[in-house]
Amino acid sequence: MVEVNMQLLDRIDDLKLGERVLQWKKAVKEAGWKLFAEREKWTVQSWRETEGLDIQLRRALLFKKVVENVEIRIQDYDRIAGRLTPAVIGCMTSIDVCGDYIPGIWQDSDKLRITMDADVGMDPESIEILRAGARLFRGKTAPEMTYKAWEAADGGWIRDAEAAKLKDPTLDTGIFGQVTSVLMWKKILEKGLKGFIREAREHIDAFVANRESDIDRLYFWKSSIIACEAVIDHARRYAAAAREMAEKETWPERRAELLEMAAACGHVPENPARTFHEALQSMAIVGVCKNYEHPMHNNPQWGRGDQYLYPYFIRDIDEGTITLEKASDLLAELIGRWGTQTFVSSESSMESHQINFGINNAMIGGVNAAGEDGSNELSYLFLHVVGLLQLSSPTLGLRWNGKTPSWIMNKAIRTNMATKGGIPLFENDEVVIEHFLKDGIPIEEAAEWCGLGCVYPCLPSRAEHYGAEGIAACNLAAMLHLVLHNGADVNDKQTGLQTGDPREFKSFEDLYGALMRQHRFITHRIFWLASIARREQPKHMRLPFLSTVGVPSCMELGQDLLIPDPESCMFGISDRAIIDVADSLMALKKLVFDEKKLTMGELLEAIDGNFEGREGERIRRLCLAQPKFGNDIDEVDLLAKRIGEDSERIIRSYDNSPFRNYMIAREGLAWHYFGGLGVGALPNGRKAFEPLNDGSISPMRGVDRAGPTAVLRSALKAGFRESHASVLNQKFSASILGSRESIDKLAAYTNAFMANGGSHIQYNMVDTNELRDAKIHPENHRDLIVRIGGFSAYFTQLSADIQDDVINRSEHNL
């Protein structure tokens, strides 16, 4: 266990944001974000130059062309170099990876739609560059070629299933194995990219000496060298730019900062980091280059930053080589930069994410392989800095366990009160590690788990395929819709199994059995198609830099991560809308089968009419009045438990050989909005196409009337212990803010939930009246942050449906 300097914690509590960080925050507020076509320009040029080469080398040379030619800029407030674009906030595109995915690119307009309700302006020359990329890569990208393979195997079923939101994501989101996960930061900082180059050269020498014949392995190691050398050259470009700026700088303090930046970029990431400053600088360059390789969904993730950065931080503080104030500002700079990184998403990604900021995750605290909690002074500083920045990202998570010290819990609650919008979240170390151990993962690896995106637990030592091959979530509410319509989806397509006319079901068990058969039919079918994608995608796409610095197995095998290794790959899925289904089944059980207040025909007629008219409204009120999850009612809570356990049996029964079976983690995002678009009216009283329940174990909005602890009791009874994590959102009145008593109460409340087996919880701390005013007068609430599902966002940037969803959630008091 780390021996913590409590006086240092007191000093951290007194820290404010420095001048440079405040300048950056002001610039962010004043500058709109921009879209740059430059990456696509160099991509097109490289692809034409390398025609005929092996795809592994082509992608490496494409990456090299981009990072050696894109415009770089050091802003006046930067003390760490490495930005994705010359703008304060900006992003590049992934047309060569995802195809023609940008909405409006072919319209006669100087604006492109980049979120559900926002546009970005582009000059005609830049739009034409994007169009040139779309023309060159049209029909040749991994997503497009995979859809062709799917259609050859299964006709148009998958397109219909995606249109009905039965599963996600669509392939044009560009999610491949490991792109949304954490890099090998500890190795990068300790060895430098020079160490990776040395390994690759040793493998090449052995290949030649042993007269090996698998030429693909040779190409991989060569691609690693090309990619790493390109990143080193990118850092040197920043070093030269900083020196040039220093020569012209008249202010001595700024000149010294620029020279320090130049020295750092001249040393890292090529070489091992020697200081806290160099460690952050190395991460900044590597992180931005990771994004250049594939800008959509490839934003940097911190992982357990408080653990691998701690030796650099505490040594520099103890030796006096850095002041606490400077260390705080450097950390704030990189947290802020990564937390405001944007991307252009596809239509379906807009629906599931709502926002265009990359979901950036940092985990603090948690146990090591020996079972000792690792919370330290840097963990505390992460919390403090995030509280000062008050941004919607990163998704900061505290790994709670039975040994989590009270000082870090209290700081976490205070940080939540400062941000208001669910930052940090609390995730149960013991539950997650237990699951990994049960799946045969050694404790040394399991103890290093960290969050991916929202809350999904991943292992830095293994290639994470969650979201890859088109598999992230399946929609149980949409499956219930299929059962209630004999296999027809919301678009009246026969995507589901014909389970019979529900009017003919004789018992509740007939209905329940039909749902589970439908679940198996849909889920196993999409798993089969994912296995086809796993073989097809590597023919058309490679990620040499990410493969080199992302997972250990790629270098050892001489194999790009797009060619998955059965020993080191992890696969997961989120089976969503279980609570919606539990409430709906309970209403059906009570009204149709037990009490016979309605016939199945009457209920179906009301549902298909979206509860319109006097009779429809009468039936809707009956549906809403039935027992609802979140009120400590055994019958419905245990039904949710049954559905969760049966869903796991169906998912785990699929033979994913030669790879690991799919694990389950029920996370958040804004999936409930996306999933709701594929579900008609439900017997729980929800109307057609409205958002489903938020999170994955949250009650239906507004129905949890028995108080916050009743919600916890319902969640604990449902258990969801078959899932690595299950997202529970709660909204508390802002009246609890600032009170020492409230801090202690909420810490005790959280501890009690976790100690009894809760896997995850997070809190919005904002009054409903403030949310209503923010919807009407957004200009007065630009900085208002709320928790959506598993991530936070600025309330005024959300769609009206999601704003209403947050507004209508129950507001609790302690």
The mean per-residue pLDDT over the stretch 192-216 comes to: 98
Structure tokens given for 766: 């904002």
| pLDDT above 90 as % of the chain | 79
Phi and psi at 723, nearest 5°, equal -105, 140
Say if CB 414 and CB 765 are below 8 A apart.
Answer: no
Say if CB 748 and CB 410 are below 8 A apart.
Answer: no
Cα–Cα distance measured from residue 90 to residue 463, given in angstroms and rounded to the nearest whole number: 28
For helices 215-248 and 252-267, the axis angle rounded to 10 degrees is 170
Q: In the prediction, which pLDDT does 181 show?
A: 85
Q: What are 611-615's contacts with CB under 8 Å, separation 24+?
A: 611/681, 611/685, 611/687
Beta bridge partners of 812: 732
String of b and e for 363-381 (b: at least 16 CB within 10 Å)?
Answer: bbbbbeeeeebbbbbbbbb
Beta bridge partners of 758: none
Q: Where are the alpha helices (DSSP H) in 427-507?
A: 429-438, 443-446, 476-484
* 702-745 residue pLDDT tens: 999 999 999 999 999 999 999 999 999 998 888 877 778 889 99
Q: What is the largest CA-CA distance in the chain?
A: 85
DSSP 797: G
Instruction: Tell me which amino acid residue 611 is.
Output: F
Cα–Cα distance measured from residue 641 to residue 637, given in angstroms and rounded to the nearest whole number: 6
The mean per-residue pLDDT over the stretch 91-95 comes to: 91
Highest averaged pLDDT of the listed ranges 173-182, 239-248, 287-296 = 239-248
pLDDT at 226 over 70: yes
What domains are defined for the chain?
Answer: 158-181+452-727 (3.20.70.20)
The mean per-residue pLDDT over the stretch 787-791 comes to: 69
Cα–Cα distance measured from residue 788 to residue 421, given in angstroms and rounded to the nearest whole number: 9
Give 647's contacts (C-beta < 8 A, 6+ positions apart): 476, 519, 575, 578, 664, 722
Higher local confidence (pLDDT), 119 or 219 = 219
Mean pLDDT of the chain: 93
Cα–Cα distance measured from residue 305 to residue 287, given in angstroms and rounded to the nearest whole number: 13
Beta bridge partners of 398: 364, 426
Cα–Cα distance measured from residue 307 to residue 325, given in angstroms and rounded to the nearest whole number: 20
* Residue 644: CA count within 13 A, CB half-sphere: 27
The mean per-residue pLDDT over the stretch 582-606 comes to: 98
* 3-class DSSP state of 378: helix
Q: Where are the alpha helices (DSSP H) in 657-698?
A: 671-676
Query: Where do we find the tokens 């014949």?
Result: 213
pLDDT at 614 over 60: yes
* 408-435 residue pLDDT tens: 999 999 999 998 888 999 999 999 999 9
Model confidence at 104, pLDDT cuts 50, 70, 90, reads: confident
Give 580's contacts (C-beta < 8 A, 6+ positions apart): 476, 477, 679, 682, 684, 686, 692, 693, 700
Q: In the prediction, which pLDDT does 798 show?
A: 77
Higher local confidence (pLDDT), 660 or 114 = 660
Model confidence at 808, pLDDT cuts 50, 70, 90, reads: confident
* 107-122 residue pLDDT tens: 887 777 766 666 777 8
Cα–Cα distance measured from residue 783 to residue 346, given in angstroms and rounded to the nearest whole number: 26
Cα–Cα distance measured from residue 400 to residue 762, given in angstroms and rounded to the nearest whole number: 12
H helix or E strand, kind and range, residue 328: helix 324-339
Give 204's contacts (C-beta < 8 A, 6+ positions apart): 218, 221, 222
pLDDT at 243 over 70: yes
Say if CB 330 and CB 273 are below 8 A apart.
Answer: no
Ranges assigned E (strand) in 57-130: 90-91, 111-115, 118-121
H helix or E strand, kind and range, residue 277: helix 276-293
Give 453's contacts (C-beta < 8 A, 6+ positions apart): 180, 359, 361, 395, 667, 669, 790, 791
Burial class (CB in 10 A: 0-12, 13-18, 19+), 400: buried
* 594-605 residue pLDDT tens: 999 999 999 999
Cα–Cα distance measured from residue 23 to residue 26, given in angstroms and rounded to the nearest whole number: 5
pLDDT at 232 over 90: yes
Q: In the prediction, which pLDDT does 393 show?
A: 84
Beta bridge partners of 456: 452
| pLDDT above 70 as % of the chain | 97
The mean per-residue pLDDT over the stretch 129-141 comes to: 94
Say if CB 81 and CB 73 are below 8 A apart.
Answer: no
* Residue 179: CA count within 13 A, CB half-sphere: 24
Say if CB 407 and CB 373 are below 8 A apart.
Answer: no
Phi and psi at 400, nearest 5°, equal -80, 140
CA distances from 306 to 312, 325, 396, 560, 727 (A): 10, 17, 11, 29, 23
Beta bridge partners of 474: 167, 575
Q: In the prediction, which pLDDT does 478 show?
A: 98
Q: In the prediction, which pLDDT does 123 show?
A: 87
Structure tokens given for 111: 């604006």
* 384-415 residue pLDDT tens: 999 999 988 888 999 999 999 999 999 999 99
Q: In the prediction, which pLDDT does 356 show?
A: 64
* 256-265 residue pLDDT tens: 999 999 999 9
Which of 477, 679, 667 lies closest to 584, judged by CA? Answer: 477
Q: In the prediction, which pLDDT does 160 show?
A: 97
Give 675's contacts (C-beta < 8 A, 6+ positions apart): 165, 168, 473, 475, 477, 478, 576, 577, 692
* 325-384 residue pLDDT tens: 999 999 999 999 998 888 887 776 666 665 666 778 899 999 999 999 999 999 999 999
Phi and psi at 650, nearest 5°, equal -65, -45
Cα–Cα distance measured from residue 93 to residue 114, given in angstroms and rounded to the nearest whole number: 11
Q: In the prediction, which pLDDT does 348 show?
A: 67
Cα–Cα distance measured from residue 742 to residue 814, given in angstroms and rounded to the nearest whole number: 8
Q: How many CB atoms within 10 Å of residue 199?
A: 18
Query: Where do we find the tokens 């594929």?
Result: 678
DSSP 736: G
* 511-554 residue pLDDT tens: 999 999 999 999 999 999 999 999 999 999 999 999 999 999 99
Cα–Cα distance measured from residue 266 to residue 36, given in angstroms and rounded to the nearest whole number: 27
Q: In the prediction, which pLDDT does 695 show?
A: 87
φ/ψ region of 103 (left if φ > 0, alpha if ψ in -120 to 50, else beta) reads beta
Q: In the prediction, which pLDDT does 102 show?
A: 83
Phi and psi at 401, nearest 5°, equal -150, 175
Higher local confidence (pLDDT), 249 or 33 = 249
DSSP 35: E
